[in-house]
A and B are shown apart, each in its own frame.
Chain A
Amino acid sequence: MPALREDRLSIGAFYNPHLAEELLRSDAVDHLAMADPPAADDAWFSRVQARFPLLLHDYLGQLADPLSSAQLARAAELQSRYRGPWVAEHFQCLHTANRSQSLDYVFPPLYTEEFLDRFVENAQTLRERVGAPLVMENIPGFFSVDHAQMSEGVFLERFFERSGCGFLIDVPHLWLAAHYAGRELREYLSEFPLARVVEIHVAGIEEDRDLEGPWIAPTLPPQEILDAAVWIAERAPDLRAVTFDAFSPSLTFDTLLEAVRGTRAAFGVQ
């Protein structure tokens, strides 16, 4: 099982099964993040697994609620399969407590003391069950919700302080959160505990017809995102990996390759 490189920053992408053959032919990608388990009929996966370090980035469960024993067992099984240096989850609460309704998309929790307690406790349980470090990814809000007791940055800082988890900082998510809050990105970033960052996500941003504004897209990361990522990296002594966060049937290998090469260039990785 290949290990994440220790000699320099690892620059990778998400595993898109329809691009597996081309990924195996290329030497541009150092690691792959796994958003879904490989399909039973994925003929390429055994070679992919033999070639690339894999990072578990599946939906393991929402840490706003206790994970079920089945969810914990599934997370442990996936991690034993991939054996990555850490597993990832998100600061999200997308389905109701009784699971009767779901948004089926990342959505942030209310930033309150109650949710902070919930995330810390449930993250610790997940980390212990998978037997690997846990990193948590920030999730943007598109509109304001009343009743928040603290800012996103303070919520994350206090979470990382109490849980000891690592920070997977998604730069486009932060860019969007700052944009829709009417804040300047660097000023918004200053509220976040960048010293906790272990992994960075970069991705594209495109106009969305429903939002009538920008949102995350499986396209090339713009220079502003790459510049912010490098700025964060300069403040993140424990940073190990930068991942092009695009997982979509519409993603082409040319886009993936260009995005990874652009990221390598931005970080000065040959």
Chain B
Amino acid sequence: MSGAGIDLGRSDVASLSDRERQDEVIRYLADARVRQSHTHTAPIAAEEAEKAGKFARFLARRYYRDRLHRSCRYSFLIAPQAAAEQVVDSAEFDAFLDQCALGSLESAVVVRDLALQRLGEIAAPGAWWREVLVYQGAFFLQAATSGRGDAKEMPRRGHSAVCLDFDWAIPQVLDRLKRGAAVDDSLRRPATLVFSRTAEGRIYVMEADAAAAAVFKALKPGIDVERIAGIPATVARETLASLAAIGAAVIDPVTR
């Protein structure tokens, strides 16, 4: 997992500003590995470490409970007795807290998988159910990832961004679930969605056309997007700019 504290020597610690010391406290609370390291530089006395650790667990449980609640509204409509956020009260989640790095993509993936495992035990109300869960999982990754990753190379995909192909017209399926309407086979048609999050924390779910899906899937450091097979250069440039605007692509250091 990313986000471990920087190992500072004693002289470096002495020269820290108060603002930098506060950052050390934040890193200590956010990342279990920092708390477990013997080299952390947070100004927390040994006799306060146990209380700080309790507070860190409180923060993490609260954070993921909130993000699951926000991200799994559609499965809750179908099965309110099995809300996704109940997973934060499980023994598996308790064990995860000892490795949790709040807001990291790696931790979000662990919690998503715990939640999907639990929701997968619900009797499927229709053939579209599995895809609703996949949609919620992808949305959750955006909602529960505040880190922006360490990669510096451009262009690349947004840190938590994903592009998924569905067999059902998921936006319409979700709209029907929200309205309490039946989901029938008329909605069984392919849809491709890009899930992303901007540096400011705004989450987007965009229906991707063939060009957007192709550009996103081709994104990797150093690629010349104007040479993606089958996509005119002008379209590729505009598509890349659109993906960058929603945090699905990173094309310059400013948008990181």
Q: Which residues of A contact B (CB under 8 A)?
A: 64-65, 70, 93-97, 99-105, 107, 109-110, 112-115, 118, 142-147, 180, 208, 210-212, 215, 249
Q: Do B21 and A110 have beta carbons less than 8 Å apart?
A: yes
Docked complex Cα distance between A58 and B166 (Å): 36
Contact call A142/B102, Cβ cutoff below 8 A = no
Interface centre among A103, A208, A212 (most CB of B within 10 A): A103
Shortest Cβ gap from A119 to chain B (Å): 12
Tell me which of A95, A104, A110, A210 contacts B18 (CB under 8 A). Answer: A110
Interface pairs (15), CB distance under 8 Å: A70-B200, A94-B26, A96-B27, A100-B148, A101-B27, A101-B30, A101-B102, A102-B30, A103-B29, A107-B26, A110-B18, A143-B51, A146-B44, A210-B54, A249-B69
Tell me how far the C-beta of B65 lies from the nearest C-beta in chain A, rounded to whole angstroms.
10
For B171, list chain A residues within 8 Å (CB). Answer: none
- Distance between A47 CB and nearest chain B CB, rounded to angstroms: 21
The stretch of B55-63, B207-215, B223-231 in contact with A is: B55-63
Measured CB to CB, the closest approach of chain B to A207, in angstroms, equals 12
Contact A101 B54 (CB under 8 A): no
Closest Cβ of chain A to B75, distance in Å, is 15
Residues of B within 8 A of A107 (CB): 26, 29
Contacts of B1-53 to chain A: CB distance below 8 A: 3, 17-23, 25-27, 29-31, 42-45, 48, 51-52
Majority SS at the chain B contact face: helix
Closest to B55 in A: A142
Mark each residue of chain B from 85 to 103: 1 if its CB lies under 8 Å from any CB of chain A, else 0.
0000000000000000011
List the B side residues contacting A143 at CB < 8 Å: 44, 48, 51-52, 55
Q: Among A95, A110, A144, point to the contact of B45 (Cβ < 8 A).
A: A144
Our pick among A65, A115, A145, A180 for the contact of B43 (Cβ within 8 Å) is A145
> How far is it, in angstroms, between the C-alpha of A43 and the C-alpha of B8 when the chains are bound?
53
Q: Are B3 and A100 in contact (CB under 8 A)?
A: yes
Closest Cβ–Cβ distance, residue A265 to chain B (whole Å):
31
Kindly state the separation between the CA atoms of A89 and B43 in the bound complex, as whole angstroms. 26
> A103, B102: Cβ atoms under 8 Å?
yes
Closest to B51 in A: A143
Chain A min CB distance to B175 (Å):
11
Partner of A103, one of B30, B43, B147: B30
Is the Cβ of B59 less than 8 Å from the Cβ of A105? yes
Assembly CA distance A99 to B147 (angstroms): 8
Interface of chain A: mostly helix, strand, loop or mixed: loop
Residues of B contacting A64 with CB < 8 Å?
A: 19, 22
Flag if B23 contacts A96 (CB, 8 Å).
yes
Taking A101-B103, A211-B54 as given, write out 11 further A-B residue pairs in contact, using a Cβ cutoff of 8 Å, ordered by the A residue number. Answer: A94-B26, A100-B147, A101-B146, A103-B30, A104-B66, A107-B26, A112-B18, A142-B54, A142-B55, A145-B48, A147-B43
A141 to chain B, nearest CB (A): 9
CB proximity of A84 to chain B, nearest CB, Å: 24
Asked if A212 and B54 sit within 8 Å, CB to CB, the answer is yes
Residues of A with C-beta under 8 A to B45: 144, 146
Question: Which of chain A's residues has its CB closest to B30's CB?
Answer: A101
Q: Which chain B residues lie closer than 8 Å to A104 at the CB level?
A: 59, 62-63, 66, 102-103, 146
CB pair A102–B103 under 8 Å, yes or no, is: yes
* Chain B residues, CB < 8 A from A97: 19-20, 23
A211 touches B26 (CB 8 A): no
* A145 with B44, Cβ < 8 A, contacts A101-B30, A114-B17, A215-B58 known: yes
B-side contacts of A112, CB under 8 Å: 18
CB nearest to B17 among chain A residues: A114
Query: A180 to B26, alpha carbons, bound, how many Å?
Result: 20
Which residues from B are CB-within-8-Å of A145? 25, 42-44, 48
Q: Which residues of B contact A180 (CB under 8 A)?
A: 51
List the A residue with the shortest CB-CB distance to B24.
A96
Q: Could you say which residues of chain A place their CB within 8 Å of the CB of B63?
A: 104-105
Instruction: Give the residues in chain B near A146, CB-CB below 8 Å.
Output: 43-45
A105 to B30, CA, bound (A): 11
- What residues of B have a CB within 8 angstroms of the CB of A144 in the complex? 45, 48
**Smallest CB-CB A-B distances: 5 pairs:** A143-B51, A210-B58, A146-B43, A114-B18, A210-B57
Closest beta carbon of chain A to B70's beta carbon, Å: 9
**Whose C-beta in chain B lies nearest to the C-beta of A142?**
B55
